[in-house]
Amino acid sequence: MTTTGFTALARFTGKAGGVDDLATAEYPGPLGIHDAGTIGRNIDTVATQIAAALTSRDAGARLDAGAPDDPTKIVLSGTYDEIDRFFRDRGWSDGLPFVPPTVERIEAFLRYTDCPPREEIAVLPSANLRATPWNIAANAVMAGCAPRHMPLLIAAVEALGDERCSLNNIGSSSGIIPFAIVNGPLAAALDIASGAQAISRGANPAIGRAIGLIVRNIAGFRPGASYMGTFGYPLAFALAENEAESPWPAFHVEQGFDAQTSTVTIGVTNNWGSAPAPYDTSDRSGAQVALDLIAREIVKKTRVFNFPARGPHAESVMVTVLMSPPVAKSLAAAGYSRQDVKQHLYERTTLPLAEFEWIVKYTMIERTTVRARIEAGLLPPEFLGKPDDRVRVLSSPDIVHVIVCGDPNRNRIMVLEGGHTRPTTKPIRRPARWREL
């Protein structure tokens, strides 16, 4: 059963699960704002569709992908304008000018990996297509990447294909976009910016765009068909952690990697919002100001109703805090480690129970209650308190990731929320001929 606009996504999801001819019943219109009478009438319509599908020999429309194509086949020869129009018509481009992925350009990228061109790097849902060096390179060429970015992009695809990343769930109408965080010595060698205006400089825009095209063309998430963001999607982005300016061990070390290992982490976010600045960070009380400001930003996020959920049936959510070096240094000078920051935010990020109850009741499509979520095992008993009681909105310190990056001369923070997925880190493997290349 789907709502209007999501039937194509349901069919893609069914195909990803092995059901090529999934039957669907569509609830018409915006369920979230319908009154009880309208819902009742529309449920009758849905029931009629279900009965018809269950009693029909031809229950659903089969998604026929056709025979696999030869990836080296020339699909078009022509002028740039003809190629641009051809790609747009097939949904292969993001609507911006791109570099045509010729065989020669793809082969230049393949020199930067020891993997055979058709080796399976990952299978990416929901299209469940095989990501190989060949089609990864084709998307990287289109995005304007340099051949030396190939090892990073292969690692990024491995992260996208990891079940912890849960890529099959990013089609949400809330508008979830992927991002990449690069750590380790290769960040500088690959020209990944970590300082001022990080997502807009160096190789970052092209790498972010390549990840977005891979999600479009290999994972199969096409806006309006299986990628359902109500207001659309900003471009995917990439940045590096500013390890030189960070007062703490690098983020990938926290994830269990050696400091000299280069890694890429794939996360997702629903937003790229304002960047508040804490202007009193001179001592421990000033550091408290910075932490309180981050806590205030967290409770503004769309998915705050899911942040405290726990247990096997809770949705995976994550909060990624981008913190400019001056803010991180002020916290470290006040005695806070990265883990201390996460623990403090876990303990001190709170809302009045009455306000949290309102958010659950009026901004979740389930139209549920806090008590119902407690009875389902999704919220702890502390949420049964009095309306004025303050409740913690993070399920644990581990829901928070802290990345030091951005302008080294500004005191800014950015809080990103991610729904359905968990940030996933993979090592970047250089080819044997890396130094020569």
Predicted pLDDT at 302: 85
Q: Is residue 87 part of a domain?
A: yes
- pLDDT band at residue 49 using 50, 70 and 90 as cut-offs: very high
Task: Kindly state the tokens that stand for 204.
Answer: 């970052």
Predicted pLDDT at 59: 55
| Distance separating alpha carbons of residues 410 and 118, to the nearest angstrom | 46
Predicted pLDDT at 333: 93
* Residues 37 and 123 grouped into a single domain: no
> With 80 as the cut, is the pLDDT of residue 372 above it?
yes
Indicate the SS3 state at residue 43: helix
Predicted pLDDT at 324: 96
Predicted pLDDT at 14: 83
* Residues 122 and 216 grouped into a single domain: yes
The tally of domains found in the chain comes to: 2
* Residues 138 and 89 grouped into a single domain: yes
> With 50 as the cut, is the pLDDT of residue 271 above it?
yes
* Residues 194 and 136 grouped into a single domain: yes
- pLDDT band at residue 343 using 50, 70 and 90 as cut-offs: very high
> With 80 as the cut, is the pLDDT of residue 57 above it?
no
* Residues 253 and 122 grouped into a single domain: yes
Q: Is residue 377 part of a domain?
A: no
* Residues 48 and 160 grouped into a single domain: no
126-145 pLDDT per residue, tens? 888 999 999 999 999 999 99
* Residues 123 and 165 grouped into a single domain: yes
- pLDDT band at residue 281 using 50, 70 and 90 as cut-offs: low
Predicted pLDDT at 337: 97
11-34 pLDDT per residue, tens? 877 877 788 888 999 999 887 788
Task: Kindly state the tokens that stand for 5.
Answer: 């606009």
Q: Is residue 181 part of a domain?
A: yes
Q: Is residue 375 part of a domain?
A: no
Cβ atoms of 357 and 374 within 8 Å: the answer is no
* Residues 136 and 41 grouped into a single domain: no
40, 111, 243, 259 from 185: Cα distances, Å: 60, 21, 10, 8
Tell me the β-bridge partners of 419.
317
- As a whole number, mean pLDDT of residues 277-295 equals 81
As to burial, measured by CB atoms within 10 angstroms (0-12 exposed, 13-18 middle, 19+ buried), residue 34 is: middle
Predicted pLDDT at 30: 84
> With 80 as the cut, is the pLDDT of residue 61 above it?
no
> With 70 as the cut, is the pLDDT of residue 375 above it?
yes
Containing structural domain, residue 182: 80-349+393-427
Q: Is residue 434 part of a domain?
A: no
What angle, rounded to 10 degrees, do the helices at 204-217 and 133-143 form?
Answer: 130
* Residues 40 and 131 grouped into a single domain: no
Q: Is residue 8 part of a domain?
A: yes
* Residues 338 and 192 grouped into a single domain: yes
| Distance separating alpha carbons of residues 27 and 287, to the nearest angstrom | 50
* Residues 25 and 96 grouped into a single domain: no
63-109 pLDDT per residue, tens? 554 445 677 789 999 999 999 999 999 999 999 999 999 999 999 99
- pLDDT band at residue 244 using 50, 70 and 90 as cut-offs: very high
Q: Is residue 96 part of a domain?
A: yes
| Distance separating alpha carbons of residues 306 and 296, to the nearest angstrom | 16
DSSP 8-state class, residue 316 = P
Q: Is residue 436 part of a domain?
A: no
Predicted pLDDT at 67: 43
Share of the chain above pLDDT 70, in %: 96
| Distance separating alpha carbons of residues 129 and 124, to the nearest angstrom | 6
Distance of CA 83 to the CA centre of its chain: 30
> Which pairs count as long-range contacts for 248-254, CB under 8 Å and 24+ apart, including other chains?
248/328, 248/332, 248/337, 248/338, 248/404, 249/338, 250/183, 250/184, 251/181, 251/183, 251/401, 251/402, 251/403, 251/404, 252/183, 252/184, 252/425, 254/338
1, 281, 309 from 29: Cα distances, Å: 13, 50, 29
> With 50 as the cut, is the pLDDT of residue 349 above it?
yes
Predicted pLDDT at 283: 61
* Residues 22 and 155 grouped into a single domain: no
Share the mean pLDDT of the chain: 91
Q: Tell me which residue has tokens 């209007």.
A: 4
pTM here is 0.90
408-433 pLDDT per residue, tens? 999 999 999 987 788 899 999 999 99
- pLDDT band at residue 300 using 50, 70 and 90 as cut-offs: very high
160-181 pLDDT per residue, tens? 999 888 888 888 888 889 999 9
